[in-house]
Amino acid sequence: MMCLYFVCFVWSLKLKAKINVCRYIMVLTAQRQSILKKIAAVDLGGSVKCFIDCLAVEAGLAENTILAYCRDLRGFLEFCSNSKIRRTEQIKPELVNDYMRSLSVDSKSEGTVKRSLVAIRMFLRYCKGTGRIQDDFASVLDGPKLWQRLPCVCSERQVLDLLRAPDIKEPFYFRDKAMLELLYATGVRAGEVANMKISNIKLDIGYLRCIGKGNKERVIPLSKVAAEAIRQYLENLRPSLAKSFSEDFLLLSRTGRPLSRIEVWRLVKKYAVRAGMPRNLTVHTLRHCFATHLLSGGADLRSVQEMLGHVDIATTQIYTHVDQNRLRSIHRKFHPRP
């Protein structure tokens, strides 16, 4: 009976996902609208706007990814305007390389330069496909080599201190407690937990549905502790926060509006400082902790990849290098000298 209920739950999630994708495509955020207005006022702005529309409608990229493309291409357009470039046919490899060097001179990080180059490559391939340029030289553009940095991870004891940081005497204790437990129990991103709907969570069977980057859907198990924290919040606090415009969002602010991604980051920082944790701890640190602690507990890499929503398992594989106890045990087991 439970298996049948779970299958029906998954099918209902898929139907809701299709509806949400349609709504997502139709709605432009205020941030994107603002940036596109500025882009339209610059030479080549019309081509870039068509490219951004293509990313939103056809590629199905996440809103934050589209905003990043907008910002990166806006900087490139300003550089083209200063270089007297008025048409897409005038864009040459030398121009792009000069722009990359200008970013380095401005002390931009290697990651920023690399991301800008990716945006320009995608734009040039779009221009080639739509006949705006004759030659596709995107593949010959080389960016900086990036060092692979290991993610910052806290110990299990530190995470428990963070989860205990909210004070029950505080007015938003139940909401903040549920948010922290949800972040660590599922490894969801800040934007994903901010957009979480009550209808996406099934407390009775311990699962939730998450819509991640590119509107990709995944189903994640929910621990009993996290489920209980969410239940306590739904019973004791959310009814008093909810307004007519709150819709079905799980986490609400004092005004009844859904918490933004920035507010989620701010709350995690607040409780991290209270728990005496590193100042560089972020929401994504809890995601790293979720993955690393699962792997150190014996979870297989493929399952962790599915729960995190990674397309490439190589992205998940980085967490195998973080667990020092695991690496030490492997070294002791297989190295010929003790």
Question: Which one of 99, 233, 271, 319 is the catalytic residue?
Answer: 319
Query: Among 74, 175, 189, 209, which one carries the catalytic annotation?
Result: 189
Cα separation, 184 vs 160, in Å, equals 10
84: left (phi over 0), alpha (psi -120 to 50) or beta: left
Q: How many helices (H) and strands (E) does the chain have?
A: 16, 3
Two tokens at 226? Answer: 């996290």
Question: 135 in helix, strand or coil?
Answer: coil
| The token pair that represents 299 in the structure block | 């979870």
Any idea of the CA torsion for 280, 284, 287, 293, to the nearest 10 degrees? -20
In the residue annotation, 213 being an active-site residue is answered as yes
Q: Which of 175, 152, 150 is nearest to 271 (CA)?
A: 175
Question: Does residue 243 carry a catalytic annotation?
Answer: no
Structural contact between residues 245 and 257, judged by C-beta atoms closer than 8 angstroms: yes
Catalytic residue among 71, 115, 213, 269: 213
Q: Spot the catalytic one: 287, 302, 328, 335.
A: 287
> Among the options 16, 121, 284, 326, which is catalytic?
284
Nearest to 111 by CA among 146, 139, 141: 146
* 326 noted as active-site residue: no
Find all residues with CB under 8 Å of 103, minimum gap 6, and list them.
75, 112, 113, 116
DSSP 176-214: HHHHHHHHHHH---HHHHHT-BGGGEETTTTEEEEE-GG
Cα separation, 181 vs 110, whole angstroms: 34
Question: Active-site residue numbers?
Answer: 189, 213, 284, 287, 310, 319
